[in-house]
Each structure stands twice: as C-alpha cells, then as structure tokens.
A and B are shown apart, each in its own frame.
Chain A
C-alpha cells in the first residue's frame, strides 16, 4: 500500500519502528547524523531501535561496533565535539558499568568544564526494564542514576508517538541526551506486549518537547506520576478502576531531566492524592524526588500521605515469582490506588 492510499494519521507502528523513523528523518535532514552501536546494522538493533536504517543508509552511517563501549561511546563524544550528531546505542543500560567514565565524566561534563564553549550534541539510547526474566544484569531501569548526574538530559518515552517525537528532539538538541526505551514497550514480536506499544504515528516529522510531561489520562481522585512501561500499566489500571468508581489521573513524565514539576504539581493540586510508580530502585531515586518537589512546594496539597511503588532495593531476580514480586505490576498499582482512596 502506498502512503496516498492510507491517511497518514491512521498508520499504526511499534515504538521500535517509531524510534528508527525519527532517526531516519534526521539522517535525511542532516548529513552529520550517524548511528553506531552493537548489532545496530543488518540486525536492526536487538530491540529494533534501528530497524531498516542499514538498508537505507549503509554501513558508513549505521556502524556496527566491537563490544567496546568505552571506545565507541567515547568516540561518539569526540565526533559530537567536532560538530557531528551521533546517535549511539548502549544495548542494555545495565552495561553502563563498562563505560560510565565516558558518560559521566566526559559526555555530561565537557560543556560545563569548558565554560560553555564546547557542545556535545549526542544521543545515547539504551534499553531498560524487566518483566521477562532476564535477571539482575539485564533488567534494570537506572534512570534515577543518570538523572542524578548533572549535565545529561534524560528522556523516557512510553509510547510510539512520543518515541518518534522525542527522538527527533533529542537529535536536534545541542546537549547530550540519554534516551531510555523500555524493552517491554517496543512492540517486539518476541515479547509480551501491551497493545499501547503499537499506535498511530504520523509519517512526517514532528517533535515532542524535552522537559514536558503529558497528562496521559485525566482524572480527579488520585494522581499516578510515572514513566515508561509503567505508564502503560497505569493506564490499564486506571481503566479497570474507573469501573469501581475511582477516577485516576495519569501523568507521564516523558522527561526526567529537565523535570516538568509544573504538570506534576498541577495534577496533585487537583486530586490531593499521589502515587509515584517507578520501575527503578526505590531509595535515593525518582520517587523520593517527586515527594521532595511536592513538599517543597506545599505539603498541604496532599489530603493523604504520599505513596510510592518501586523496586524494593534488591537486584532484579530471575525466577518469575521473584521478579513479579519486586516489579510494579498492575496488581500492585491497583492495590496502592485503592489504599489511597480508602
């Protein structure tokens, strides 16, 4: 079918395809954009983030690297410093350990250390999240770790539309942007997926602003502040609880750095009850940050004590009952909301 036969708006694609479309558009627009990472070439990225790019742009602009993350992420930084716009993939965020110096001491600090004289316009994209028994070294989210470090913008799309719009914004941004996509939200054929991982996305280019949260569902009783795959779970729960007469508002943060505190505060001001759902570790992270934002603004906004649901400070275990026991599943989200309403 050609594009003229299908109205653009009716076209439905996966999050993975939306990411690669965003990259492709910018590669066509700007010869400085190129892609590198492990298995991003003919394979199309282990989680589909570079689907079809190799066929269109070839091995000069879509580069398979050795398993040398310090080397190729550092090379991305160097190329960015010289005016290119690399999109570099770290296959799983869990592998940050082998390349963290380049990320935090170089990618994140060069602009500041240079007194604003050097830019690092680079996108580092990486897969996050668990739920399919990939165990402790392949299931983490870790966005809180990166958001804690000054100098890196952090975006975390939850659906195909935002995935494309945020990718284009990230590539155009003059700062390093860490783009974290959840494996379970990619719409992969080989993993259980929420229907929300496939959605209508315009074919043409558009942007989603970095630093702007979205109200994914309006409600008046309770606010769920969340991100990434947990947005999909929270929307499912909201639909389910509507039949029990509980009216849930879901705020999809979309960006952690910068954090859209205004949208969060406006929602909490309306509902007076908040649950933060985070697939990252509980302590010293996003959930605590949102609690701080609310209490610094006006603790009196809350009619019920602040609630959070996150991974209870243990590594992600392998066996299904163990993993499901620590992840913020729909059941746990629903239970936490009901308690807030009790």
Chain B
C-alpha cells in the first residue's frame, strides 16, 4: 500500500474486491488491499471483523465468495512457490497424545526435495536448531509436542514457519499465551528481519502497544471493519547473516546482563 504514485516495490499479496459470506451473512464485502514487498502490515479489527478469515483466504484455506487473491503476482490457483510463505494460525488444536517431538514438528516445515524415509540432511538440522534457538525453545527439542504449554506450542509453530526463512510471514495473533520476555524478543527479531532483510509481514494482533509503537498511531487505511497499520521499509538490506537466531544474540546478552545487574 504505497502512498506515492510510483510503486517502489512490487505487490506480493493482492486482494482484489474479495467478499466472503458465511451462512448467508457477509463477513466482509468487496475488500481490496495489497501488501508490498518489505511492508509490515498490522491487521486490526474488532471480533467478527473477519481478520482470521481474511488470512485464511490469503493462504488458500478458504475460497472467497467472490473476488480474487494473487500471491507474488500469480492468481492463487496457479501459485506454486508456497515455500516462500510462512503461516502461523491462531490456535492449533492438536491431539495432546500425538507422538511427535518438537524437533519433528519444526522439521516438518522444511520444503524442498525429501530424502527417503523422511531423513534430513545436516543442513536441515542446522536450520532446525536455528529456528528453535530463535524462538527460545531449543531446550524442548526432544519433548513431545503435546507435553508443552499453549505458549510453548505457539513458539514451536512460529519456529516451524521460520525454518524456511520465508519472504512473506503471515501471523495470526502470534504472541497469544506467550510470556512477556519471549514476546519482546520475538518482536525484536521480526522488526530486525523487516528492516535489515527482505522479509514482509502481515500480522493480525490485538497488541496495540506493539502495533502503534512500530507501525504508527493510526491506521493507514481501512476496509469495512478491518484496519491496516503499515510501515514500509527502505532501509538497506545490509545484514549478511542468514540464520534466524542472529538478531537475538545481541538482545539476549543484553537481557542477561540486565538480570545479573
């Protein structure tokens, strides 16, 4: 959503007059907006405004009643590069007895050619460790996912979405149930990824403090009951580190010295 006339970056999500109704009730009608490369968009709205529904339409889990969604310029029905998108839904209703370790869950987010019997390369394990580290759940790697608290599970699902270092990260209330310290480091990391790497964000959140602090006091645009807070980044993509946890090293050492002091 560029205010200027000339687009400096291309659209990577285009929502074109999309309507959605559920049981004869319009959730939203004729909504159009776009997300440009290197945007950070906070999507805010009251309960029932259809924020989650909108995200589910964008990732293709729901079909809009009318209108079209394009991802990276391609209509969603023809879109193939799903590994460029990370999506973390609001709540995963997983079976607490499901036999899978945290590590297995995070590795399941990896895209690309698969070895026989689901085996992974050394590089895959490295990526997994990075993603776990980035979300501060490295100590839980061998635990069964069902044994974790809701907040810990959420961090594991964030790690799974991050493992491919996607170009577009779509997050639905990512920090619900997560303790304050982890929230801080998570926001620190995604801000860093937005400013110094080529990563674009679309995030539903109720955390107005974070939204306003980073994206500005008032929404840049509205569509029905949906409010869009936007920050577009032109800072140089100068960070050469490509693992996920790097932006946290500094922050962690800072926090630890504070605790000691």
B is a partner of A: no
Residues of B in contact with A (beta carbons under 8 Å apart): none
Q: Which residues of A contact B (CB under 8 A)?
A: none
